[in-house]
Amino acid sequence: MAKKWVYMFSEGDMTMRNLLGGKGANLAEMSSIGLPVPQGFTITTEACTQYYEDGRKINDEIMGQAMEGVKKMEELNGKKFGDLTNPLLVSVRSGARASMPGMMDTILNLGLNDEVVAAMIKGNPDPAFERFVYDSYRRFIQMFSDVVMEVGKKYFEQLIDAMKEKKGVKFDVDLTAADLKELALQFKEEYKKQLGKDFPSDPVEQLKLAIEAVFRSWDNPRANVYRRDNDIPYSWGTAVNVMPMVFGNLNDESGTGVAFTRDPATGEKKLMGEFLKNAQGEDVVAGVRTPMPIVQMEQEFPEAYKQFIEVCETLENHYHDMQDMEFTVENKKLYMLQCRNGKRTAQAALKIACDLVDEGHKTEEEAVAMIDPRNLDTLLHPQFDAAALKAATPIGKGLGASPGAACGKIVFTADDAVAWADRGEKVILVRLETSPEDITGMKSAEGILTVRGGMTSHAAVVARGMGECCVSGCGDITMDEENKRFTLAGKEFKEGDFISIDGTTGNIYDGVIETVDASIAGEFGRIMDWADKYRKLKVRTNADTPADAKKARELGAEGIGLCRTEHMFFDEERIAAFREMICSDTVEERKAALDKILPYQQSDFEGIFEAMEGNPVTIRFLDPPLHEFVPNTEEEIEKLASAQGKSVQDIKDIISGLHEFNPMMGHRGCRLTVTFPEIAEMQTSAIIRAAIAVSKKHSDWKMVPEIMIPLVGDAKEFKFVKDIVVKTADLEINKAGASLEYEVGTMIEIPRAALTADEIAAEADFFCFGTNDLTQMTFGFSRDDAGKFLNAYYDTKIYEADPFAKLDQTGVGKLMDMCLTLGRPVNPALHAGICGEHGGDPSSVEFCHKIGLDYVSCSPFRVPVARLAAAQAAIAEKEEAKKNGFVDEETRKMLEEAAEKAEAIAKELAETSADIARSGLEALKAGVEAAAKTYKENRKS
């Protein structure tokens, strides 16, 4: 039997998301619950995969089934594809299983050609209908040329602008039927000029090319960037949805809109959306015309609006989540074209999740699972300082499309945003309106400001998804993109000028406004409490200063997983002493120099121990190669030479001698201690003295400092350094007359350490995976240089993600799992964590949960992200276990306890029954004996 590649909407439902994509599954589901959906069909995601396997071609079997779908669609709708009497026009839309707004392609009004257009007009003499037909035709030619044939839409926009200027009108809707007919002719001429061939007139050919274009768009640059940012595998593919056109641009009794059942910016439970009369959906999302608020639809189309409100309630109650919907009204009749769980800001996500629990739609666990942990970042970033904001006067106002505050230098193109950001500049991307091609520039910018577009424009939707500040639809701006300048409030702003934008209020300010850290409370605290309730992984932070440690504690960190001591050496007084140590000729001179640093180190550690309030603190010994600490300028070299009593040339020779061809694999980490044991002695003394001092002040705190030895590759190497630590630490503890526990462990960042983990575990108290270096050494490329060639690896699909941002679970992850498998049987008390950048990446946190790490450690502002991701990992594991008939550890223990109680009760009952039985037998025996005796006596008498 042939594989099924095509499903009518009546054949699917919401559970078939992986096969039908999100849009197809939801169209099928809306159909099944009786909502007004134009009946069409979906070509599966598997067909997309097959398209790529077949060398980017649609095979005959898939196309054959698609045409069968067209026949069924014709029967359902009473129209015929390509017919001159009653033609069926269709839309062709993408629909991946994960929502990717604006990333892939759509084609509307497909099936039109000169003959069909003429026949449609002939059948309806109304001049308004003629205008509608030519409007649909010119839209189709432009969209097909751009999306399917990759002829830039700018060519067509220039023709439209020229026509509007010639006719003296501002908007497309003001163009007449004759104007649009002339435009359609110009568009076809432009098509032939660009491609050297006529615009295709065969509807079947149009359909095949459009389906191919949607499949092809799965691999377009913007979709690839979006997938990498959102952990969407390339292998998923996209579905294609083909459905009959309904026309919002038919007349003034028609229109189109986008709406959300709750405010996607704040989470407030109210209908929010926009509507345009006499328009198609692309007009709303592209921001070409500024739409009216959704509530005004009630005045224009009261019956359709009333039905739409009922549909909103039905969908939210059905999906138990905030819905994002696209719809069209044709001659006052409502049609639903899409629904999905709506993209929302982090602030809105928290409020909606809590409200859904309070309303009975979700359990606590479901609420935790529905929030994207990455979006929490946006809650934790700076906002405008209240005092500075009060003193500032807005120069303009748009729509607050995505909350947050941003200030930076103005740039006008996506490419400039990327280039300026790469050189360290903070920029605001200012555009007439954004398009999907601008995605990389939008990512690089601090914020986005657009002249056109509403709350559901491309800029607004994508910015909210990325958690980036956005102000849209500031129509007071007079834009001159060609010369890279705009005018607002009578002032001309040029590229490089500073502006500030408020994505909550929509206000725009001249110059820079000071920012402050965001404050978090309310729903954030409630969601975090739920996350902590369900997660198993502990969450620590990477912090090198008391201020960082304090901030991390405020955000829920349960300790420090990585304190990098080298960052403490760069203060002016300390670096001078450390350079003395580097340039010393004898052990005594090195110790004398290190003695100057010891009090600073101790003070630093005391501050960090205080900030952590008795929670675990892991301190890593000096890691970088020594050449990073030597002077670079002539002035600094002369100063060091003078302090050391050496010549300038002597110092230069020492510096030259520290040069390494590959310093990241050179004389660093524990290798420094093997060469210069006195460095480890000084750092151990500082750690132990600090811990003792803080313990005396806080006797109720359980202080157990964790001393971490970096870059270990051999058990003997670890033991050598550990012996120095233990000897020094015990001496300090005895000298202070104190009682202090401490642990000595290692970073696992060299593949050999993972491969010999059983040998190292015999000596180590803990392992901590330094996945930045472990990734670097496993892949064999430098994280500092990999950016030069990784894009080529993404383009060729060798890698789907940056292995330094998202943990490589196949290779690096296998080493981690192997390390634990080898190490824990040797040392059952061994605890293990991760402290690379991956500790704050949600998919990496999930992997850490799966392999049984005890904690993850990440930067302070990523702590809430890790807490939520850890909870989601535990909840997902529990759900998966239920699905497979297994139970989680907590439930297993509960069942075991219940079984033990049941067994005890059964045993007690058995014993009781036996006692009762014995008593009964004895009573019966006594009764029988008594009866026999009486019988004998009676016989005698």
> What angle do the packed helices 60-77 and 203-217 form, to 10 degrees?
120
Tokens linked to 233: 């595998």
Count Cβ atoms below 10 Å from residue 845 Cβ, excluding itself.
31
Q: Are 11 and 71 in contact (CB under 8 A)?
A: no
CB 121 within 8 A of CB 149: no
Which residue is associated with the tokens 């002035």?
Answer: 635
CA dihedral 895, 897, 900, 904 (to 10 degrees): -120
Residue 809: alpha-carbon gap to chain centroid: 18
Contact 783, 804 (CB under 8 A): yes
According to DSSP, residue 517 is labeled P
Cα four-point dihedral sign 357, 362, 363, 366: negative
- Tell me if 399 sits within 8 A of 454, measured CB to CB: yes
Q: Provide CB contacts within 8 A for 425, sequence distance 6+.
A: 408, 409
In sequence order, which residues have a C-beta less than 8 Å from that of residue 898 and are 6 or more positions away?
Answer: none
Between CA 134 and CA 128 the distance in angstroms is 10
Q: Which of 48, 339, 407, 458 is catalytic?
A: 458
Q: Work out whether strand 405-411 and strand 333-341 pair parallel, antiparallel, or are unpaired.
A: unpaired
Measured in degrees and rounded to the nearest 5, phi and psi for residue 332 equal: 70, 5
List Cα–Cα distances, 122 to 86, 87, 353, 572, in angstroms.
11, 13, 54, 86
Number of neighbouring beta carbons within 10 Å of residue 533: 12
835 is catalytic: yes
Nearest to 420 by CA among 392, 441, 400, 402: 441
Of 565, 564, 782, 776, the C-alpha closest to 661 is 782
407 an active-site residue? Answer: no
287 token code pair? 């921001």
Task: Give me the DSSP letters along 591-659.
Answer: HHHHHHHHHHHHHHHHHHHHHHTTS-EEEEPP-S-GGGGS--SHHHHHHHHHHHT--HHHHHHHHHHT-
Distance between CA atoms of 452 and 456, rounded to whole angstroms?
11
Instruction: Please write down the long-range contacts of 594-599, taking CB distance under 8 Å and 24 or more positions apart.
Output: 594/678, 594/679, 594/681, 594/682, 595/682, 597/569, 597/682, 598/682, 598/685, 598/686
The first and second tokens of residue 579, run together, are 């350079």
Query: What SS3 state is found at 470?
Result: strand
Q: DSSP for 320-337? A: TS-EEEEEEEETTEEEEE
Q: Are 536 and 870 within 8 A, CB to CB?
A: yes
**835, 838, 848, 849: which one is catalytic?**
835
Distance CA 777, CA 629 (A): 24
Return d(Cα 336, Cα 13) in angstroms, integer: 16
Q: What would you report as the CA-atom Rg of the chain, rounded to the nearest whole angstrom?
A: 35
Six token digits for residue 885:
């008939």
Among 544, 504, 268, smallest CA distance to 378 is for 504
172/593 Cα distance (integer angstroms): 77
Contacts of residue 908, defined as CB under 8 A and 6 or more positions apart, other chains included, come to none
Q: Which are the catalytic amino acids?
A: 458, 835
